[in-house]
Amino acid sequence: MKVNFNVLQWSPPRILVSGFALIIFLGAFMLTMPFASATGERLPFIDALFTATSATCVTGLVVVDTGTYFSLWGQIILIVLIQLGGLGFMTMATLVALMLRKKITLRERLILQEAMNQSSMEGIVKLIRRVIIYSLTIEFIGAILLASRFMADMPLGKAVYFGIFHSISSFNNAGFDIFGDYRSLTLYVSDPVVNITAILLVVLGGLGFVVMSDLLEFRKNRKLSLHSKVVLTMTGALIGVGTLVIFIFEFSNHLTLGSLDWGGKFLSSLFQGVMPRTAGYNSLDLTVLRQATQFFIILLMFIGASPGSTGGGIKTTTFAVLIGSVISMIRGREDIVLFRYRLGKDRIFKALTITLIAMALVVSVTMLLSMIENQPFIKLLFEATSAFGTVGLSLGVTPELSNAGKIIIALTMFAGRLGLLTLAYALGPRADKDLYRHPEGKITIG
């Protein structure tokens, strides 16, 4: 296979993979500098690489405590990486180009189409403009709401900084926090302002920018696309089911919901039902959850957010297609119909491919970690799924990983953020179109 070193001739998936990798290595180099740590010590490169990968891939898994280990400059580096990773480096590059009044070329539009997971280039630059405006506006409002609450607990300047940091981290579904001691948002387990603000930021970031654009134009168009209908339906269903299951499973657990009043029980269940959708914050101590609850969270993390969003996982639309396939097969129907639209065979094949590759990746990573790490299986499966879904929730395993384990988890986060098919297209040879078709055969299934 001939290797093409001409960057100008690289495919859009290869450019995306290379761009993210470059940002990660630059971020890792910056985090190893003495000014990035609170003590002035250099962070080991493996730990810096892991942290930069987690930030750029908007995951939130950490090997050192973000709030106490890093200096102000180190935390600023992390928040820049989170913003670049959440919106995508091509989105940020387009912003610079638009500010400089530079024309967006056809090749750049193709890369943007791949980065935003769109089926066509039509209106892609207009979408990017909206993405930037929506993101900055939502993050600004979130920062004001959080800062107004934090002012009751800390000085004004610190409250504003904490508001900005956690608003960006929440909207980009990163899950990084700077409260220290790996506490995440457990200090505000029953606080409605912090919980509801974080939930709204996470949900808006996880819906996808196409859906947000559809919602904002609904008053004018009076209609939603099929994609938006599926995303909104699945998002609502998953949040509702997640909240109910966690509420039931943990209701009598005195280490989690059992010690809270009814309002605190509901708010914590809602919060913890939303966060596995690739956000990474927790208001409950995950290590003392019942194993049934931990496994259920693994399932939510595997599904993840929606296409074109800041989140990972197999995506809500993929899960919807799988459910539609099952229903159609049980009813004896040939087509999968969602909201009176028939799905094409290519959509079904893509959903099945993504799911099987994702399952293979999570299983393989868990097996590898089981071989090299002395940890319970459920914790390793939880960590592997969290990395693939770019969630960031942890049962406390990540800081104790060996260097080999850190590299495995970092690669898993990288694959989860970019998307398995994008990574496969980037690393694999260019496929040639088949010149013929084989005769149809039949095998027995089930």
Q: DSSP readout, 375-438?
A: S-HHHHHHHHHHHHTT----SS-GGG--HHHHHHHHHHHHHHHH-HHHHHHHHSPPPPPPS--P
Q: Name the average pLDDT for the chain.
A: 84
pLDDT for position 2: 46
354-388 pLDDT, tens digit each: 999 999 999 999 999 999 999 999 999 999 999 99
Q: Which two tokens stand for residue 437?
A: 């078709």
CA torsion, ordered 301, 302, 306, 311, to nearest 10 deg: 50
Query: With bands split at pLDDT 50, 70 and 90, how would you rate the model's confidence at 1?
Result: very low
In terms of Cα–Cα distance, which of 158, 135, 51 is closest to 88?
A: 135
Q: Which two tokens stand for residue 323?
A: 């459910």
Distances (CA, A) of 374 to 378, 379, 402, 405: 12, 10, 10, 11
Percent of the chain scoring above 90 in pLDDT: 49
Furthest C-alpha separation in the chain: 73
5-51 pLDDT, tens digit each: 454 455 666 777 777 888 899 999 999 999 999 999 999 999 999 99
Residue 272's identity, in one-letter code, is: Q
pLDDT for position 309: 73
pLDDT for position 9: 56
Residues 6+ apart with CB under 8 A from 4: 10
d(CA 200, CA 142): 9
70-118 pLDDT, tens digit each: 999 999 999 999 988 877 655 655 555 555 555 656 555 665 555 555 5
Phi-psi region of 305 (alpha: psi -120 to 50; beta: other; left: phi over 0): beta
pLDDT for position 424: 61
